[in-house]
Chain A
Amino acid sequence: MRVRTNADRLVTQVLLGEVWPPLADRHPHHVGADGAPFLLPGMGGVTLGVHPGDPATGHGADHLEPGLSVRARDPEANMALQFLATVGSRARLVTGAASGARGVVIGQHAYVLCDFAEADLGRATVGDLVAVEAVGQGLALADHPEVHVKNLAPDVLAAMPGGTLADGRLEVHVTTRVPAEAIGAGSGMAVEYANTDLMGAYAGLAADLSLGLEGLRIGDIVLLEDQDHRFGRGYRPGYVTVGVISTGTCQLHGHGPGPSSILSGPAGAFAIVDDPGQNLGALVGVGAAGEAVARGA
């Protein structure tokens, strides 16, 4: 993205988490949007077969978290990990059979979600330690004071198309425009923690649940209309938020594929370009695009 930033003033902090196990209680079934009980994998642990560029929906999963789901054991250290890790921060397995493998953070979901090559995921397991080189909180756009950057590593921003236009607006390319009706669980929460579930993407469930979002892919850059995520996540006519889809299909009503928010501000500060190809995988060189190595690594 052609844009002036403070990237050269940002610091990188090394954080440590571990691959956290999937969790359940004595009552394993949950209730789906149409009332049917389900028991499905998706959250926590090591999830194979889904990477940026792959469909976000259609899997037999709930709250699908691609790759490694990482937390820190100490509660306050964990909040630092969740708040400071950004989309595009580099990750590295430092213990276990895949020790030394390199990956990249694709978002937050009360876990830090790390994409690695399929072969590395096939050797990783619960308890493996993951080092995250967290960089990006505090990233600012010198010529766009109304646009707030969130949860985004500078090299991902640099790789995105668009940038400052002659009229002063920020050009951003997105695959999908998401109406405010789709905003589900996550509204009202801190924007640096977890993500915003999108309703209306229930592939295979009742038609009256649909908002036309069944085609979302993991890693898609999307526009959330009438959403102001500068200081939290909320509905606000005239504001927009750009996000990266970091989690996939959900069966629970009020949930769905979720974007981690990366840019937010008044709609007039943006020039949005509809561009179906915009995906994190192509920007950081992970997932369907091939190697699990952050751009420039």
Chain B
Amino acid sequence: MALRAAATPRLVETGLLGLVEHPSMAPGSPYAIDRDGRPFVPAGDGGIVLGVGLGDGVFAHDADHVAPGVCLVHPDPAARLALTAQACLGNPAVVLGGAAAGAPGRVVGKRGEAGRVIVAFAPEVTARLLPGDRVRVAARGQGSRLAGMEAVRVLNLDPSLLAVLPVRVDDDQVAVRVHARLPARLCGNGVGRPAALWDVDVQIDPAGAAAHGGAGLRLGDLVALTDWDARWNHGYRRDAVTIGVVVHGASRVPGHGPGVVAILTGPGERLAADAGAGPDDNLAALLPRMAGTEANA
């Protein structure tokens, strides 16, 4: 049995414009400081990164906050926040100009602070993109409600992606199959920020990941944050559960790590997570099953 969005409210689609980001760094010094006090140059943090995609391990690249797609921004700060708040995982996107004009993609993540939307394209498309290229995002999903399960909130999720999530639905509980269950104490940067705008970083490193349930974690994986409420701001709430998607890879900066965008959140008696690697607990498997995928691709 699949989840589905309630018939009301009727969702509207907004056509948003994002520009492919150019990475930026603070003036004066290229260094960030890792958790052992060693300086390093963070590479791969935003913009166009080649050779990274859904299904790659979160520690597979010597990069910082690396995403499985191209980051979109907007030069107007308020428009950039609106782009980030309204774009939802699974939304279709299309390149409007430049050498990759007409190529389709899918929103596979977003990031906080100033706001970024992450769009995955085929590798040959990504290779033709340049910073500044214009991308249209067909945003749809915020305001969606779960049919028959009001206590579980849905956010940041295209209704067509909601419909293909790997779930077990009982009379009064939804259980989502996830790659890992991650405890609240791991949540770092992003705590206290609006879950419709920000991902929350999970503070795991290669040495400690297994002890916290994060072994083998991949970009695009479905995960559960336990004792976590993401209805408004990300924060601790005993027995609440948040289901999210891993949208960027690890970081050596203290308080940072693979980022998770919340898609479902609710009390534990209504929302559960079955952990264990499966074939369909990653966006790489789920996106091709979405209704309308062929028409868009």
Contact = CB atoms under 8 A, between A and B. Distances in A.
- A, B in one complex: yes
B235 A254 contact: yes
Interface string A204-218: 001011110000000
Contacts of A31: 232-233
Given A231-B254, A234-B256, A235-B188, A185 B193 contact: yes
Interface in A141-172: none
Contacts of B253: 188, 232, 234
B208 A237 contact: yes
A79 to B, nearest CB: 11
B236 interface: yes
Contact of A208 (B33, B237, B254): B237
28 contacts: A179-B185, A183-B188, A184-B235, A185-B191, A187-B187, A187-B255, A188-B254, A188-B256, A189-B255, A200-B236, A208-B238, A208-B240, A231-B33, A231-B37, A232-B255, A234-B255, A235-B185, A235-B203, A237-B208, A252-B192, A252-B233, A253-B192, A253-B229, A253-B234, A254-B191, A254-B233, A254-B234, A254-B236
Given A187-B255, A189-B255, A235-B186, 6 more contacts: A35-B232, A179-B185, A197-B192, A236-B203, A237-B208, A253-B237
B191 A182 contact: no
Contact of B185 (A180, A188, A233, A253): A180
B36 interface: yes
A226 interface: yes
A181 interface: yes
Contact of B239 (A33, A187, A208): A208
A185 B192 contact: yes
A277 B33 CA distance: 36
Nearest to B205: A236
Contacts of A35: 231-232
A118 to B, nearest CB: 30
For the side of the interface on A, what is the size category?
A: 35 or more
Nearest to A210: B238
A233 to B, nearest CB: 5
Contacts of A188: 188-190, 201, 253-256
Contacts of B239: 208
Given A184-B235, A254-B233, A232 B254 contact: yes
A228 B254 contact: yes
B208 to A, nearest CB: 7
B34 interface: yes
A106 B241 CA distance: 37
B227 interface: yes
B184 A181 contact: yes
Contacts of A173: none
A181 B240 CA distance: 13
Contact of A254 (B35, B37, B186, B192): B192
A237 B35 CA distance: 12
Nearest to A250: B192
Interface in B54-107: none
A22 B74 CA distance: 28
Nearest to B208: A237
A199 interface: yes
A228 B37 CA distance: 11
Interface in B171-197: 183-193
Contacts of B203: 187, 234-236
B232 A232 contact: no
A228 to B, nearest CB: 6
A157 B203 CA distance: 31
Nearest to A255: B192
A242 B185 CA distance: 18
Nearest to A179: B185
A211 B37 CA distance: 31
B210 to A, nearest CB: 13
Nearest to B238: A208
A109 interface: no
A230 interface: yes
Interface centre among B35, B186, B231, B239 (most CB of A within 10 A): B35
B25 to A, nearest CB: 16
B40 to A, nearest CB: 11
Interface in B213-253: 227, 229, 231-240, 253
Contacts of A183: 185, 188, 191
Given A211-B236, A232-B253, A253-B229, A184 B33 contact: no
A35 B239 CA distance: 17
B267 to A, nearest CB: 9
A209 B33 contact: no
Nearest to A211: B236
Given A185-B191, A208-B240, A235-B203, A230 B235 contact: no
A197 B201 CA distance: 16
Contacts of A200: 236
Contacts of B33: 231-232
Contact of A235 (B227, B229, B240, B255): B255
Contacts of B237: 33, 206, 208-209, 253
A236 B35 contact: yes
Contacts of A33: 232-233, 235, 237
Nearest to B234: A254
